[in-house]
Structure 1
Amino acid sequence: MMKEIQLPSYYIKFKASHAILVMKEGSTVTMEISEEITSMMEDFYKGKNFILISHRRFPHDIDLNVYKGRILKNMIGYAIVSDNPEEMERAMVEQSLWNEAFTFFKTLEEAENWASSFFD
């Protein structure tokens, strides 16, 4: 089960147990974009549990108010992937805004293995 959606400011890959979000360089995660992504995840997973992986390959901004927006109950974990030390610092701020499983990885492979471990 896989689907990929390309949009002007990001692309998202849907897999059986997790979705991988990549924001494009210079874009911003706004409330509007967050709601759009949330709706796509809701449509794809239809109540099944899943993990969201934010693969931060490119510099982009985040409106931290997105963590106050609508969060899907079946999104049981969130991972950030980056080898940039500044992203790790930003992730520490974001982690305080998230109540479910939250972790940081340097490689996408590590994050995908972590996500899969919830469903073994």
Structure 2
Amino acid sequence: MKEIELSYCNLVFKESYAILVMKVDSAITMETSKEITDHLEAYYKGKKFVFITHRKYPHDIDLNVYNGRILKNMIGFAIVSENPEEIKRAMQEQPLWNEAFTFFKELDEAEDWALSFFD
């Protein structure tokens, strides 16, 4: 396991999945998305993984990031939040993602889902 703290987020890398937690008043932009993707690419080096975004704090997302560089080895995407507004936003994001995509209220449920890809 490895953890990286950036000015706008924390990234936790586990064997088969990564967890992103954005910080308060931060945003996913094309620039921050590229930096996150670079870290994912460097850590997983072509190995399949699932990406979990644990949305503890409200933050903006430029939906154009889904048109950017998507790693072919990222086989699933989960959003975790108890905020009903995040469920609405996830419904906008889901059609932009071609692989497995789901929403959870609890992080442990998302982690179990991620691990199910590798059983």
Task: Tell me the TM-score normalised to structure 2 length.
Answer: 0.99
Aligned position for 1:9:
8
Aligned partners of 2:116 and 2:75: how far apart in 1? Answer: 12
Moved over 4 A (4+): none
Secondary structure in 1 matching 2:57: coil
Aligned position for 1:54:
53
Aligned partners of 1:88 and 1:25: how far apart in 2? Answer: 19
Deviation of 1:106 (Å): 0.2
Give the aligned length. Answer: 119
Aligned partners of 2:108 and 2:50: how far apart in 1? Answer: 14
The answer to whether residue 45 in structure 2 is matched with residue 38 in structure 1 is no
Stretches of structure 2 that go unaligned for 5 or more consecutive residues are none
Aligned partners of 1:62 and 1:40: how far apart in 2? Answer: 19
The amino acid that maps onto 1:98 is W
Task: Summarize deviations over 1:11-33 as a string: whole Å, max 9, x none.
Answer: 10000010000000110100010
Task: Summarize deviations over 1:78-110 as a string: whole Å, max 9, x none.
Answer: 000001100000000000110000000000000
Aligned position for 2:17:
18
Aligned residues with identical type, % of pairs: 69
Aligned position for 2:78:
79
Task: Summarize deviations over 1:33-52 as a string: whole Å, max 9, x none.
Answer: 00001010000001000000
The amino acid that maps onto 1:41 is L
Task: Summarize deviations over 1:47-96 as a string: whole Å, max 9, x none.
Answer: 00000000000010000000000000000000000011000000000001
Task: Tell me the TM-score normalised to structure 1 length.
Answer: 0.98
